[in-house]
Chain A
Amino acid sequence: MNTTARELWTGRILLIVVMAVTIVPFVSLFITALHPPGTYPPGLALPEEFHWNNFLLAFDAANMGALLQSSFIIELGVVPIAILIATLAGFALGHLNVPFKRTLFIIFVLGLTLPFEGIIVPLYYQMRDYGLLNTQLAIILPLIGLFMPFAVMWMRAHFVNMPQELSEAARMDGASTWQLFWRVHVPLSRPAIASLAILLFLWTWNQFLLAIVLVDDPEKRTMAGALGAFQGQWGTDIPLLCAGSLLILTPTLIVFLVFQRQFVAALLQGAVKG
């Protein structure tokens, strides 16, 4: 009994220390964002007066309105299309009799570990030839392709587990493949689709490399890509840089905290299946 209590306390203290180390950077960012703009505040010191106004200043200085608009265009271009075509492919590969099923699946899986850096150079010239450089499409189109390995694998894993009897019954009632998909399987797949949508939303928001290479204008980038540009711009105005960073990372925190369960489930299952 005695050892259990001691173990428990050691465990608690260790956990609290690790949590503190995780939280301190966020706190430091937040406190620094409240210092007078243009100053170089020391570490974790509280300012004499809280400059909440910094968030507004950063919002204006970064032209955050235009940025948000661009980010949403990119999200709207990537997430629904990626979800739709990955669900179709996952349904076919997981549930239907498709010729070359295994080969097709292996081709998709091959892309799972591919580093984006490995294809960024030709992607740049490809986008230049299409005349898409410096437009949101230059980020949207490749991102859909790059998400396919994970998305198809994730949806296939879902459809593999759907009972065949269900489809047979629908076929008996005269459903075509298309009807079977939309009327029977999509409604039943909502949780799997929702999890994937949350993951893709965050990955798109956070995408940096494609954004800085394919789009010069920070106001046409993803949020993370724009953040990279601020750093150069306001490298010296630390409080504003911190306020801007907070503005950009807060939506991701909110999405995560709200959809925590689906997010974690998707990530774990996807990771282990990979």
Chain B
Amino acid sequence: MSTTWSTTDKASSHPSAPGPSDDLRRKRRADKVRRLRTGLPGLLLVAPALAFYGVFVLRPLVATVQYSFYEWNGISTATWAGVDNYVRLLTDPDLLGPIVNALQLIIYFSFVPVVFGVIAAAIIRKMGASRLAGISRTVLFLPQVIPLVAAGIMWTWLLATDGAVNQFMRVIGLDGLTRAWLGDFDTALPAVGVIGAWVNVGLCMLLMLAGMTKVDPSLYEAARLDGAGPIREFVSVTLPAVRQELGVAIIITVISALRSFDIIFISTQGGPGSSTMVPGLEIYYLAFFEREIGQASALAVALTVLVLIVVLPLNRLTRSDSDS
């Protein structure tokens, strides 16, 4: 009751006092002008970056959304299609398939590397400053540095009928299982996934290692004194400490799965059939070969939204209190 009274009181008192509020307004306006004037050099410094970003990122982003509501072959005039392109996206298996494939790739591009990365980092941390720890840190990261196209070429060769993978399987007596891994309907998607896993392990390992080195060593000593084994120690001390880095690793690798293009373009071109088709490649085919600009743009919008849907909740998880 009393709060209601006081708020109405305040609200009514404001306009009824003309003198001071006029002054206040003038002062505020002067303040604003001054702030803009002192801020102008700063704004000018931001302008070039903003211009490039606006013209070559934001403008095309808006255009993608716009195109997605039209039917257009890139040459003749576009016709308004409303949400047709989006309806087709959800009903046509040829368009929905790539999205499902990309979601499956998350297991290989994200889950597997994060698990291996955590394990590798835990081992490396324990080795401290030994030479093996240093070397393995560098070696595991190498796949991150080379062009994804090169990774694709390497692995296409490894996974070929006469490649090293089959050769190895014959040596250990698994002759029956050998096949053209990237050309087989059942194994093509996992095979492409293995390439992504190989690329991403190093990044995950490095992120985890960065998180783990922040942990106070006395915590480990205390855990050991309490009789914790390596696994218990890992679960109760290490994992909570790397929560933020874990979140970052998941975000980066999930995005890399959803937007996979280079590796698949090189190794399978989406085939066999459309068993490894992903949104990025489908956008490329639709826009530049089948000339369905509207449909390609609708898929591009869907992909962008999908990335945001996945990233936003994960992002909240990783936000630490110390963030500015």
A252 x B147 contact (CB < 8 A): yes
Q: Is A104's CB within 8 Å of the partner chain B?
A: yes
Residues of A within 8 A of B236 (CB): none
Tell me which of B38, B135, B149 contacts A97 (CB under 8 A): B38
How extensive is the interface on chain A, given as a class? 35 or more
Q: Is B111's CB within 8 Å of the partner chain A?
A: no
B139 x A23 contact (CB < 8 A): yes
Q: Given A43-B163, A86-B49, A118-B64, is A268 in contact with B207 using a C-beta cutoff of 8 Å?
A: yes
Q: Given A224-B148, A256-B142, A268-B206, is A88 in contact with B136 using a C-beta cutoff of 8 Å?
A: no
Docked CA distance A99–B41 (Å): 10
How extensive is the interface on chain B, given as a class? 35 or more
User: CB-CB contacts of B262-300 with A at 8 A, as 1s and 0s?
Assistant: 100110000000000001100110011000010011001
| Contacts of A143-188 to chain B: CB distance below 8 A | 144-146, 148-149, 151-152, 160, 177-178, 181
Residues of B within 8 A of A274 (CB): 248, 251
Docked CA distance A3–B232 (Å): 14
In the complex, the number of residue pairs spanning A and B with C-beta atoms less than 8 Å apart equals: 295
Residues of A within 8 A of B189 (CB): none
Docked CA distance A92–B164 (Å): 53
Residues of B within 8 A of A160 (CB): 324
- In the complex, the chain A residue whose C-beta lies closest to that of B68 is A121
Q: Is A49's CB within 8 Å of the partner chain B?
A: no
B43 x A202 contact (CB < 8 A): no
Binding site for A on B (CB under 8 A): 35-36, 38-39, 41-43, 45-46, 48-50, 52-61, 63-64, 67, 74, 116, 119-120, 123-124, 126-127, 132, 135-136, 138-143, 145-151, 153-155, 157-158, 162-168, 198, 201-203, 206-207, 210, 229-230, 244-245, 248, 251-252, 255, 258-259, 261-262, 265-266, 279-280, 283-284, 287-288, 293, 296-297, 300-301, 303-304, 307-308, 311, 324
The 6 closest A-B pairs by CB, nearest first: A145-B56, A122-B63, A43-B167, A98-B42, A89-B49, A224-B147
